[in-house]
Amino acid sequence: MKWSPICARLDLRSKSPRLGPNLKLAGRIWLCERKTICLDSLPVVRNTDDMAGKGQTAASSLSGNESLKVLLCVVVSFSLLRYLHDLVKFLVESPFIDFAHYYTYATVVSLGLDPFDQQATSRVDAMLNIRRAGSAPNYPPLFYVFMQPLVLLPFRYAKLAWVFMGQVCLLGSLFICLRQVSAVSPVRVAAVLFVVLNYQPLAETIALGQSNLVVLFLVTVAWWGLRNGYQWAAATALALTAHIKPQFAVLLLLLWWMGYGAVGARALLLAGIGLGASFFVLGPDHHFTYARYVTSLPDYLLTWTANLSPRATLHRLFEPANFGPVLADSLWLTLGVGLLFLVARVIPRALPSHSPAFDGAWGLGLCAVLLLSPLTEEHHLVILLLPLTLLLLNGWGAHLPDRETVVLVGSILLLGSRYSLEQFPAFHQGALSLLMTGKLLGMIGLTGMLAARLLSGTALLRADPAKMMP
């Protein structure tokens, strides 16, 4: 007989008169152990199902995350490939007429000639033999001094250096934004990259050789300097911006309104030093002629179809009427005053630089500059990549409501898509010209959204300032 361990423990192998009861006890214990072993070996259906469900959920979640990563990689990769293709195509085919404009007048300045002298400019045109924009030297005089290092290079190498500098400025702006925003999700980064790589004003800026990417970098540096307490860096960036695109000098008033008058004063001082340097290098005649030019812009700019500004839009709308120009300018002045009142209403006088509302105020200021300027072209909209990037990255520290998300997406589509009715003369004036206002509507939509978020943010700031801190 094979003895179980239980029998061994009870020492049942010894012959004892109590062998019978011991055997009964051993049998009962043995049966109980067998039942326990059998029960333990049976699968627990409920627990197995739960574990299987949890495993399937985890697997589905993991599969969804992997699918999302693949989707984002594909979308961004396609966009990047198209962007690089267009960049190479522009380098090979585009005449870079705006950069050629800078290069020509910078060459005129380097020869000690007057850029507003038609004969001198014609001689330089014949010498360079490059295609350029036919406008007058409409940039501040100091800008052509900034361009002198590029004049030392032949035009084909100078344009390569200019395009490279523009791409560095673009990457620098994106890097600064990413560094300033905490806890950035890959989905939001992919959204920013998708918008930037497919942004039509960016493509136009590169194809023309425009200076907007430099301006984008400078206003981004100014925003970064204000947020982090580097006041001289912000002031220097704003002073340089005013000597490239004078309309952005309006940002100095914005600084004063937000409580950063000291930074605005430093920027004004640096801009004045730059003006004095250009007076010394170029002489007063160039500056006086330039001042007369910018204060009396040619009339054709008011009806030029490439001019997206509200003033030009109103002039095209009322051009068929005899009183059209007067009515257009009256409405434009009214809208301008209303926009200034809106900006003053939604932006607090004392705004903490580290609050998300500060980002909105800076973005609203950039929108206001483009809306108030008498000349706004599509390539100028590159500047709006700064507020768009900040909104897409973190929405200023809060989730966007559905309504504001729709407005943001609609504004991005209107601003960044490629479309135009300019080739059809029927849309150049009158009521049909309103169908050409897609980019303007995008600016208005973004401005309205920024104002709405600032209103809600200002109310929160007044109620509890700590809630507005990142």
Q: What is the DSSP string of 413-434?
A: HHHHS----TT-GGGSSSGGGG
CA 303, CA 311: separation in Å to the nearest integer? Answer: 9
CA 370, CA 245: separation in Å to the nearest integer? Answer: 11
Q: How far is CA 349 from CA 345, 358, 446, 453, 462, in A?
A: 10, 11, 22, 16, 12
Which residues neighbour 333 within 8 Å (Cβ) at sequence distance 6 or greater?
none
Tens-digit pLDDT profile for residues 54-84: 555 545 555 667 888 888 999 999 999 999 9
Phi, psi of 237 (to 5 degrees): -60, -40
Low-confidence ranges of the chain (pLDDT < 50): 1-27, 29-46, 52, 58, 460, 463, 466-470
Phi, psi of 3 (to 5 degrees): -90, 135
**DSSP code at position 347:** S
CA 323, CA 327: separation in Å to the nearest integer? Answer: 6
Q: Which amino acid is at 370?
A: L
CA 269, CA 259: separation in Å to the nearest integer? Answer: 18
Within 243-352, strands assigned E span none
Q: Which amino acid is at 459?
A: A
- Cβ 121 vs Cβ 100: under 8 Å: no
Under DSSP, is residue 141 helix (H, G, I), strand (E, B) or coil? helix
CA 135, CA 262: separation in Å to the nearest integer? Answer: 37
Closest CA to 254 of 270, 238, 243, 275: 238
Burial class from Cβ neighbours inside 10 Å (0-12, 13-18, 19+) for residue 95 reads middle
